[in-house]
Amino acid sequence: MTNHVLRIDASARHDGSVSRDLTDKVLAKLSPAEVTTRDLSTPLPLIDSTWIGANFTPSDNRSDDQKSTLALSDTLIAEVMAADTLVIGLPIYNFGVPSGFKAWIDLVARAGVTFRYTENGPEGLLTGKRAILAVASGGTEVGSDYDFATSYARHVLGFIGITDVSVVAADRLMVDPEASKKAANDQIAALAA
């Protein structure tokens, strides 16, 4: 049973957004007790040299300004940590993820917090969670050689420890929208609650 979902909407669109519609349907299927929503259409700040300096300063040595610089990142990470399941509305823009989703990843993937380096390579620290990607695309076929969005999302989620990743896809909407939406709805119906 899914108790707490973190809903992430990466679409720049609100009205007519297929990924937002799919995310609504996934949430209805899961019927969680609690939902936290993070809408990435409101731009997140990009990491810069000040953020990197704060991030790589040991936490005990951070100034108040450095703590303030990392506050949003800390909030975003806390949202992921609190969730059992992430439901990510992910449109494919120009074969990749929207810039807002990339900015979110940059703020969430932090060495020593959400992953660590070991003698055997990197190890994700956010284990025991599930993610469902609600993907929409106009022409990019999910899983094709030119779909860099879902492969990237799966990889980076696995990097921080979330390896149980399902994809619900309404792809190639500009080619056959009805068949695409039907396939996505069938995939949602088949999801385990």
**CA 182 centroid distance within chain:** 23
Distance CA(191)–CA(11), nearest Å, equals 22
Token pair for 34: 């609690």
Binding residues for FMN: 11, 17-19
- pLDDT truncated to tens, each residue of the chain (193 aa)? 579 999 999 999 999 999 999 999 999 999 999 999 999 999 999 999 999 999 999 999 999 999 999 999 999 999 999 999 999 999 999 999 999 999 999 999 999 999 999 999 999 999 999 999 999 999 999 999 999 999 999 999 999 999 999 999 999 999 999 999 999 999 999 998 7
Q: Can you give the pLDDT at residue 1?
A: 57
Binding residues: 11, 17-19
Q: Can you give the pLDDT at residue 49?
A: 97
DSSP codes joined into one string, 70-96? THHHHHHHHHHHH-SEEEEEEE-BTTB
Rounded to two decimals, the pTM is: 0.95
Q: Please state the domain count of the chain.
A: 1
Q: CATH number of the domain at 96, please.
A: 3.40.50.360
Q: Can you give the pLDDT at residue 48?
A: 97
Domain limits for position 136:
4-190
Contact status, residue 108 vs residue 77, Cβ threshold 8 Å:
yes
Token pair for 52: 């990197």
Q: Can you give the pLDDT at residue 193?
A: 73
Distance CA(101)–CA(39), nearest Å, equals 10
